[in-house]
């Protein structure tokens, strides 16, 4: 993300809109990845908690 930000600062104005789209897509992919990991961690925690309660 920081590399795209640096590229955006250097690139000419007529290409800025294209770089902004790439930054937006990269942000969405990052959010999807982080959200997926969060759900996985929550599910693992609930499974472990259930195992502890039934032991």
d(CA 7, CA 16): 9
Can you give the pLDDT at residue 32? 96
Torsion angle, CA of 5/23/20/4, rounded to 10 degrees? 30
What ranges do the domains of the chain cover?
2-54
- The 3-state DSSP class for residue 54 equals helix
Give 11-26 pLDDT, tens digit per residue: 766 677 887 888 899 9
- Measured in degrees and rounded to the nearest 5, phi and psi for residue 12 equal -70, 160
Mean pLDDT in the chain?
Answer: 83
Q: Of all helices (H) and strands (E), which one includes residue 1? A: none
């Amino acid at each position: 993300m920081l590399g795209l930000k640096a590229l955006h600062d250097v690139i000419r104005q007529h290409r800025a809109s294209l770089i902004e789209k790439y930054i937006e897509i990269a942000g969405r992919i990052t959010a999807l990845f982080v959200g997926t990991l969060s759900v996985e961690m929550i599910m693992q925690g609930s499974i472990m908690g259930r195992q502890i309660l039934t032991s």
